Amino acid sequence: MDMAAPTPFITAPAIDEYLNTLLPARDPVLADMESEAARRDIPIVGPVVAAFLSQLARLAGAQRIFELGSAIGYSTLWWARAAGAEGEVFYTERDPALAREAAEYFARAGVTGRVRQLTGDAIASFQSTPGDFDLVFCDLDKPRYPEALRLAAPRLRPGGLFIADNVLWKGKVATPDREPQTEAMREITRQAYALAGFTVSVLPLRDGILLARKEK
């Protein structure tokens, strides 16, 4: 059977636009972040996915959240608001300029006290940060996704969530494509479903979201 050609996102453009029209207007900080990301082609999860991720965090009661790969901090801000005043969200970014830009957004949004900014390699930052987490979000360099899952799984509390973006990778995971990014998305998904004590789902929203809940 012939496979369909890969598309930029799994969600059809018309459906993505429809979902966007249903969302409440974002506040000026988020709106500015979305505009800057579009203007400079900075990858962010976008408002439809961000709202869903925020809801997951609230449902899980997540207060200690580690984000692997943060850029200008768009999803970080959604996490910080979902975690609440007592929350602790770890932001990671290799580029100091993007980290400074993110810090300005956090200050404008009034969440600076909830965000711990770590500049440098995201995996190294995760390894050097002690303690367990309620939620780990993976959105870093795609070939490193499987490593991120291996490191994060044992450090989630019972009921904690591991979430990864882009796991359907423009539909390429369902084609013969053998690029490193595509292979990494296949590998992290296989690893997640093989984890003992986890319940796993993959949602075909935007570019694919992997959700793994640690049961015990």
Answer yes or no: is 3 within a domain: no
- Dihedral through CA 166, CA 170, CA 175, CA 178, nearest 10? -60
What are the tens digits of pLDDT across the range 182-212? 999 999 999 999 999 999 999 999 999 999 9
Distance CA 152, CA 174 (A): 26
Determine the Cα–Cα distance for residues 18 and 25; give it in Å rounded to an integer: 14
Q: Are 70 and 91 in contact (CB under 8 A)?
A: yes
pTM: 0.94
Residue with tokens 């505009």: 35
Q: Total structural domains in the chain?
A: 1
What is the distance of C-alpha 207 from the center of its chain?
Answer: 11
Q: How many CA atoms lie within 13 A of 162 on its CB side?
A: 29
The secondary structure element, H or E, covering residue 144 is none
- Residue 82 CA to residue 95 CA, distance in Å, equals 25
Residue 64 has pLDDT above 90, yes or no: yes
Across the chain, how many H-helices and E-strands are there? 8, 7
> What's the pLDDT at 209?
98
User: Looking at residue 4, what is its pLDDT?
Assistant: 40
pLDDT tens for each residue of 136-178: 999 999 999 999 999 999 999 999 999 999 999 999 999 999 9
For residues 208 and 167, the answer to whether their CB atoms sit within 8 Å is yes
Q: Say if 7 falls within a structural domain.
A: no
On whether residue 8 sits in a domain, the answer given is: no
Does residue 16 register a pLDDT over 90?
Answer: no
Domain assignment of residue 33, yes or no: yes
* pLDDT score of 153: 98
In a domain, 82, yes or no: yes
Task: State the residue range of the domain holding 153.
Answer: 13-214
- Record the tokens describing residue 50, joined without a space: 């961000």
Answer whether residue 5 is part of any domain: no
> To the nearest whole number, what is the mean pLDDT of the chain?
94
Residue 1 belongs to a domain: no
2 part of a folded domain:
no
Instruction: Give the model's pLDDT for residue 2.
Output: 33
Task: Output the domain CATH number for residue 185.
Answer: 3.40.50.150
